[in-house]
Amino acid sequence: MQAVQYTDHGGREVVTYGDAPDPTVGRNEALVDVKAGALNHLDVWTRRGLPGIDLELPHVPGSDAAGVVREVGADVTRVEPGDRVAVSAGVSCGACEFCRRGEPTLCVDYRVLGEHTTGVHSELAAVPADALVSVPDGVDWETAAAAPLVFQTAWRMLVTRGEIRPADSVLVLGASGGVGHAAVQIADHVGCEVFATAGTDEKRATAERLGADRAIDYTDSEFDRRIRELTDRRGVDVVVDHVGEETWRQSLRSLAKGGRLLTCGATSGPNPETNVNRIFGNQLTVVGSTMATYGETEAALERVWDGTFTVETRATLPMSETARGHELLESREGFGKVVLVPDSEYDE
């Protein structure tokens, strides 16, 4: 088969596309004929090398994909050959205390496909059957591939962990990204007043089309000051910050007293300066979140499949141009997800 691979960590030049061994299907796995995949910032960090994660090289990356089940292992009953499926990339042990109490994302052995193990950006992928969700007929492969990771992550962060309510005001940073554009739609769906940041007129217009009440140009002024102006100096109830170092202090300053800062990532770096006095003085809550349970993933994706939520894509590329996809993410070029299609399936 053909697969995206890299033999070393580094810049975009390490990404290749070529021959790789066909995967062996384990007893609890399904072999998926991949019709499309999608990039996340996680793929950029994995390519560069994540501290504490020692990947076996060459590595096939990728956490998002969708396709048709070709074969199943001996113990698999959830899916069968011919099923249309998408990958929900989190895999837990199923036996630790957290798994037993229904919190698999806290599993002591939690793994993400493409980050900790072999990924799915290849013509064929052997995937744990428990990490597959059904894709209805009529949902195109690009949507099915691009939706799972970002919508499940945003859903858990906002609905479960953040407990957003219709009366809340919510600021979403980086609305043009995958998680950002999902978070805007989820907050709007719940009934919140939604503010969003984006760097161009086109991106801000798209954020407003997706549900933002006001879109702020973060390149023109400090967004926290703009939020204070728009809320009569009150601030917002919730800030969604998956940017990290560049925005953390402004995010805290954007919050009203008793507000919640929700984070699921740190694309600009993981070690921001924190004003602890502001946190305890204003009784703020910082809430971390990652991935989602199976039920949360289904709840989010049902609303993608029925058209309630829209998956925006900035580009659809053949997998042989994955390095270009990384460039789009790193340069913040475009709005939404980058979709990758195996070259054998790609049709310009």
Pair 138, 175 in one domain: no
Under a CB-based contact definition with an 8 Å cutoff, are residues 103 and 120 in contact?
Answer: no
- Quote the pLDDT of residue 52: 82
Q: Is residue 304 part of a domain?
A: no
DSSP state of 96: S
| CATH number for 123 | 3.90.180.10
Q: Is residue 305 part of a domain?
A: no
Determine which helix (DSSP H) or strand (DSSP E) holds 230, and give its type and residue range: helix 223-230
Q: Is residue 303 part of a domain?
A: no
Under a CB-based contact definition with an 8 Å cutoff, are residues 304 and 279 in contact?
Answer: no
- Quote the pLDDT of residue 348: 65
Q: Is residue 59 part of a domain?
A: yes
Largest CA distance in the chain: 62
Q: Is residue 318 part of a domain?
A: yes
Query: Is the pTM higher than 0.75?
Result: yes
Q: Is residue 160 part of a domain?
A: yes
Pair 54, 133 in one domain: yes
With a cut of 70, which residues of the chain have pLDDT below it?
A: 348
SS3 63: coil
Q: What are phi and psi of 237, to 5 degrees?
A: -75, -30
pLDDT in tens, 108-127: 999 999 999 999 999 999 99
What are residue 86's DSSP bridge partners? Answer: 66, 133
The angle formed by the CA atoms of residues 284, 285 and 287, to the nearest 5 degrees, is 150
Pair 127, 186 in one domain: no
DSSP state of 332: T
Pair 111, 138 in one domain: yes
- Quote the pLDDT of residue 221: 73
Q: Is residue 297 part of a domain?
A: no
Number of domains in the chain: 2
Pair 26, 93 in one domain: yes
Cβ neighbours of residue 215 closer than 8 Å, sequence gap 6 or more? 175, 195, 196, 197, 198, 203, 204, 205, 207, 208
C-alpha 45/C-alpha 337 separation (Å) is 16
For 93, the domain range is: 2-147+311-341
Under a CB-based contact definition with an 8 Å cutoff, are residues 321 and 338 in contact?
Answer: no
Matching residue, tokens 């009953």:
77
Q: Is residue 302 part of a domain?
A: no
Determine which helix (DSSP H) or strand (DSSP E) holds 250, and give its type and residue range: helix 248-254
SS3 6: strand
